[in-house]
Amino acid sequence: MKRCLLPFALACALISSCNTQSPTETESGGIVVVSQKNGPRLGYCKESGVGIITKGRHAFKDLNRNGELDPYEDWRLSPEKRTEDLLMQLEIEEMAGLMLCSHMQNLPGTDINHYGGKIFTESDANPYDLTDEQLVFLKKDHCKSVLLARADRLSDIVKWNNNVQRYVEGTDHGIPVILLSDPRNSASSDMIFEAGCGGEISRWPNSIGLAATFDPELVKQFGRISAQEYRALGITTSLHPQVDVPTDPRYWRYDGTFGDNVALTTDMARAYCDGMQTSPKGKRISGVWGYGSVNAMAKHWYGYGAQEGGRDSHFAFGEYAVYPGGNLAMHMLPFSEGAMKLEDGTGSVSAVMSTYSLLWDQDPSGENVAVSFSDYFIGKQLRGDCGFDGVVCTDWDVTFDCTGMDGLGKGKPWGVEDLSVGERHFRVLKSGADQFGGCNDIEPVLEACGIWAEKYGEGAAMERFQASARRILLNMFRVGAFENPYLDFDESRAVAGCAEFMEAGYQAQLKSVVMLKNAGGVLPVKERLKVWFPVKHYPYVPGLWGGFTPERYAYPADTALVSKFFELVDSPEEADFALVMIDGPDSGVGYDEADRAKGGNGYVPVSLQYEDYTAEMAREHSIAGGNPLEETADRSYKGKTVSTRNRDDMVCVQKTRAALGNKPLVLVVKSGRPLVFSEIEPYADAILLNCGVQAQAILDLIGGKAEPSGLLPMQMPADMATVETQQEDVPFDVKCYTDSEGHCYDYAFGMNWSGVISDARTAKYAR
């Protein structure tokens, strides 16, 4: 049949003469949505120049506005065929734009962003308007992957997404913008659960809390639900799951992992990615990929959980991961055996993010550069040995200059500080990676293309860029991004406020809480007993991105909520029991500029106890070290003392016990990583570990409306001596704490009302 291009109304009239189920169109705010039988919904903006092509009884978007139905515009073809057709039409600038992943974008923009030359608070802009900076990088730089970091209202997200898609639709062959997101579903203590009543997205435990359920099927359910919610927000790529194995208990990002059992982490990684990427029936395009899929990006390839001294590689002072136990290979398994061996039909996680870390002396060639720049870790191991042909994206800002030892917002070019920004981009491409996290600027990518052409020839440069563009485009076609990137608020709201999803998240929160102690069966507590609920001291904390959290005294949960369960009283004398809520110890990040100013090297311990800690058993000399910004390569902190910011949490527990006498003290500890319990456990009758849930979930458990079932996804060390002498890359190598009841706080320990839990989960995953 001859191809034809007709005004849409005329096309509909012709089709309807022989087909009663012809395409229909609706328009709102300049966005046209075309619905058709046995075909996808199409969305486009009239002002963009994109129109509709009819062929037979089907409608297609004329994305490149040439009046012809190109194969990449034909949704009946496979994602692979569509990708190849579009790839051959792209200019080098368009391919370079595909390789960009923007800085974090906030709605509204922060004070570094502008609207008509003014910051938001001084402008007449709406939160969902595009910033001046976005207008530049979306068109001039052809950036197609945008990280949406913060937005307060669903309505703002919907309007902003539609503004973005409208703005780019008439450019670059009609390639839509892909929205990326870090985890969005984490619960906070002050949220109140009311299924379907006002919540904009379901709330779940963070990853270490999900790990405490020891239930991969629950994690798969989370993946399925969050994928639907992400699509309702316009998000088609998740910058998670984080499947690093945190083999050092001080690890800064412990709460974002599934704990230090590689078998559980591997199963969780597989379940998470299967849930995110598998479209429900009725929304599928090719295999199980489709309009309900979200491309998962497993991170961070690999070995990131073994940071020396627990310091983090976001910072120059934490750039090195070390392997004194020779155990690097184990850290690969959640990727190679989990995320890359999926069961539901997508085969493998669609993308991988590389770690910031420089894996000290682990490259057989002897080269010491961060993983993003490494031919060995990306090219040989990930691309070669693992056969991974999905998208590889660097973590954010690895190609830019670092200007300070303790700056989180600065560049992270570990091991290649002597190269220019353009040369670092070249090294990333040479390693086998495809995208540059945190880069809005096309110029250094084009510079890298020029370096490639100079070294290997222009044809080779084009082939290298096409290889990355092919992987990126394939992920876009698999999730149906080209057909309708626009959002409808009512449809989004129906998903984001879904009572079923919110209930599932809340039930997961309940399952994630670990009961560590219940002396004398004091839990559950009867309703309406009188409770003394001490105020908590929140210390001054400097912000990692600037600013600070001010010192304050406040209740650690809404007293109105607590009052729904128990009668609040003003003194221990009046109380039947006390409820104390505290946080795990916070001693900082292992580096102190004040120490350096006094002539030290700047390095201090990371402590997991509340009392001041002196590192008498630390290494005499660090394993790794050296940075152009510091004078010494020895990062030892042996003999130095560090104070914990929230020591008053421990003091509160001790003072509450003294005031209560023999009355029960119920202690809730919120922590996403191990801590030393010897300073607080003896004073408590019952202890619950909160890995990140709403206060209401804690109160439901204390009051007996639900029964604890969580298991420890980490070991709790007996003291800091065992923390200091363990090996950063080896799991389960600390001496664990034993409490006054004789229970050892080892991996997979947990209690319910009947006592210590022993079930199928402990049989499978206990070490």
The phi and psi torsions of 265 (rounded to 5 degrees) equal -60, -40
**pLDDT at residue 188 in the model:** 66
Q: Which residues, given as ranges, of the chain have pLDDT below 50?
A: 1-19, 191-199
Fold match between 163-169+186-496 and 512-587+651-765? no
**pLDDT at residue 189 in the model:** 52
| Alpha-carbon gap, residue 187 to 178, rounded angstroms | 25
Rg (CA), the chain: 27
CA angle (725, 726, 727) in 5-degree steps: 120
Can you tell me which residue has the tokens 């997404």? Answer: 161
Number of H helices, E strands in the chain: 20, 31
Catalogue the long-range contacts made by 323-329 (C-beta closer than 8 Å, 24 or more residues apart): 323/359, 323/360, 323/362, 323/728, 323/729, 324/623, 324/727, 324/728, 324/729, 324/730, 325/727, 325/728, 325/729, 325/730, 325/733, 326/729, 327/247, 327/727, 327/729, 327/730, 328/303, 328/359, 328/362, 328/729
> Which whole-number Å values give the CA distances from 88 to 83, 140, 435, in the listed order?
9, 21, 19
Residue 309 near residue 242, CB atoms below 8 Å: no
Residue 618 near residue 582, CB atoms below 8 Å: no
Residue 578 near residue 660, CB atoms below 8 Å: yes
Residues forming a β-bridge with 435: 393
> Which whole-number Å values give the CA distances from 496 to 185, 195, 196, 508, 719, in the listed order?
11, 11, 9, 17, 44
**Tokens representing 645?**
């910011």
User: What CATH number does domain 512-587+651-765 carry, 3.30.70.260, 3.40.50.1700, 3.40.640.10, 3.30.70.2190?
Assistant: 3.40.50.1700
**Tokens representing 10?**
């005329």
Contacts for 231 with CB less than 8 Å, ≥ 6 apart = 291, 292, 294, 495
Task: Work out whether the CA dihedral 743, 747, 752, 755 comes out positive or negative.
Answer: negative
| Alpha-carbon gap, residue 747 to 689, rounded angstroms | 13
DSSP-assigned letter for residue 131: P
Q: Which contiguous run of DSSP H or E holds residue 320?
A: strand 320-321
> Which whole-number Å values give the CA distances from 406 to 410, 542, 594, in the listed order?
9, 12, 12
Selection from 547, 640, 645 nearest residue 602 by Cα: 640
Residue 760 burial (C-beta neighbours within 10 Å; 0-12, 13-18, 19+): exposed
In the chain, where the domains are located? 8-69, 163-169+186-496, 512-587+651-765
Can you tell me which residue has the tokens 């020591």? Answer: 647
| Alpha-carbon gap, residue 235 to 294, rounded angstroms | 8
Residue 86 burial (C-beta neighbours within 10 Å; 0-12, 13-18, 19+): buried
Query: Quick one: CATH architecture of 163-169+186-496?
Result: Alpha-Beta Barrel (3.20)
Contacts for 22 with CB less than 8 Å, ≥ 6 apart = 12, 15, 16, 36, 37, 57
| Alpha-carbon gap, residue 767 to 760, rounded angstroms | 13
**pLDDT at residue 545 in the model:** 65
| Cis peptide bond prior to 444, omega within 30° of 0 | no
| Alpha-carbon gap, residue 651 to 666, rounded angstroms | 15
pTM of the predicted protein model? 0.94
